[in-house]
Amino acid sequence: MFMKTPRILRPVMLVAALLAAPVHADLPTFRVEARPTALAYAAEATIEAIHQATVSAQMPGRVVELSVDAGDRVRAGDRLLRIDASEATQGVAGAEAVLAQAQAALTQARLEYDRVRSLAERGFVSQSAVDQARTAFQAAEAGMRAARAGRGQAVTVLGYADIFSPLNGIVSERHVESGEMAQPGMRLVTVYDPSAMRAVVDVPQGRFSAIELDSLGASVEFPDTGRRAEATRVIVLPAADARTHTLRVRVELPPDLEGVLPGAFARVHFSAGQADRIVVPRVAVVRRSEVTGVYVTDPRTGFSLRQIRVGELIGDDMIEVLAGLTGGEEIALDPIQAGIIARAARAAGR
């Protein structure tokens, strides 16, 4: 006798039939294996000029003339500003007077020494008198040298009144205004050469531990304009910062690169050849709370969630796997559908 299946059991039997079939046969998967990938690392950087100088005052005085302002182009030797030299001029005058006095004293001491020696040769004075005259003459010579040095120092200080550019370039900043009082060591003007620029970045020291620095290359991205320039030279300074434990890296840019300013933001992309790494598509990675994982094919449940530890992004669509996968696994490219299949299998008691 034929018995009809109760209507309420039909959906359950349909689900069971679906679960008994290879439900993931049409779900796209990706075979995990070690693939040769570029060793790359990106870091934020700051642009600076390779040749830059901040000119400081070397004598006290009031700023009486400003010849340049920020943005002006200058050549090496151009006068940037002038400091009042009245005091320095008086110093030169005083030093010249001291020099004249020392010259007169030296002349007198020389004449006296010659006279005493002549008298000693004729037996009119003792050897002690000759020694005293010679000592006085030597002292006058020393005084003459000191006076000449004092005059030279005064003249040198007077030369500090005019401030000249040490290089060809652009004035990036003027630190004083006309009428201000300058003191030795006070910053006056900053000049940089725009034809030679570099990006400076601090990188965690562990990043370069397994990399041959001779093969290290880089390109510099300017996010504000979307431009990218290949580095002409990469220099890793041979000392780490004791506070941050980072290495300072200087990435030199091509000469005469237009539109690059000191202090601008940039992003440096380092590259150092290739290495075999476990990578998976980003779309296959699922994050649930604090768990990051992928759905691996399972002959019993269709798919099962496996926790992984991910590293850095590789390009735009791949991500490195540091732990959790060894290669040879098949993972789902659609983790949402894979999760639905896995839950349905668990509900069916698989």
Assign 242 to helix, strand or coil. coil
Q: Would you state the pLDDT for residue 212? A: 63
CB 107 within 8 A of CB 192: no
Fold adopted by 42-52+194-276: Elongation Factor Tu (Ef-tu); domain 3 (2.40.30)
Q: Which whole-number Å values give the CA distances from 60 to 90, 157, 166, 176, 177, in the listed order? A: 14, 10, 20, 14, 15
CB 46 within 8 A of CB 200: yes
CA gap 193, 49 in Å, rounded: 6
Q: Which residues in the chain come in under a pLDDT of 70?
A: 1-25, 38, 208-215, 273-274, 349-350
CATH architecture under which domain 24-35+277-347 falls: Beta Barrel (2.40)
- Averaged confidence pLDDT in the chain: 85
Residue closest to 253 by CA, chosen among 99, 51, 50: 50
Q: Which whole-number Å values give the CA distances from 119 to 106, 114, 124, 133, 196, in the listed order? A: 20, 9, 5, 12, 74
CB 29 within 8 A of CB 341: no
CB 148 within 8 A of CB 99: yes
Q: Would you state the pLDDT for residue 150? A: 94
Q: Would you state the pLDDT for residue 214? A: 67
Is 58-83+161-192 a CATH 2.40.50.100 domain?
yes
Is 85-160 a CATH 3.40.50 domain?
no
Residues pairing with 325 in the sheet: none
Indicate the domain borders of the chain: 24-35+277-347, 42-52+194-276, 58-83+161-192, 85-160
CA gap 69, 63 in Å, rounded: 14
Torsion sign across C-alpha atoms 44, 46, 51, 56: negative
What does the pLDDT look like over 86-135, one tens digit per residue? Answer: 888 999 999 999 999 999 999 999 999 999 999 988 888 889 999 999 99
Helices (H) and strands (E) in the chain, counts: 4, 22
Residue 153, token pair as written in the block: 């120092």
**β-pairing verdict for 265-281 and 197-204:** unpaired
Residue 280, token pair as written in the block: 């998976």
What does the pLDDT look like over 268-283, one tens digit per residue? Answer: 988 776 677 888 888 8
What contacts 210, CB < 8 A, 6 or more positions away? none
Q: Is the pTM for the entire model greater than 0.85?
A: no
CA gap 41, 147 in Å, rounded: 64
Residue closest to 349 by CA, chosen among 299, 301, 295: 301
The phi, psi pair for 267, rounded to 5°, reads -130, 125
CB 295 within 8 A of CB 286: yes
Q: Would you state the pLDDT for residue 13? A: 41
Residue 70, token pair as written in the block: 């920020």
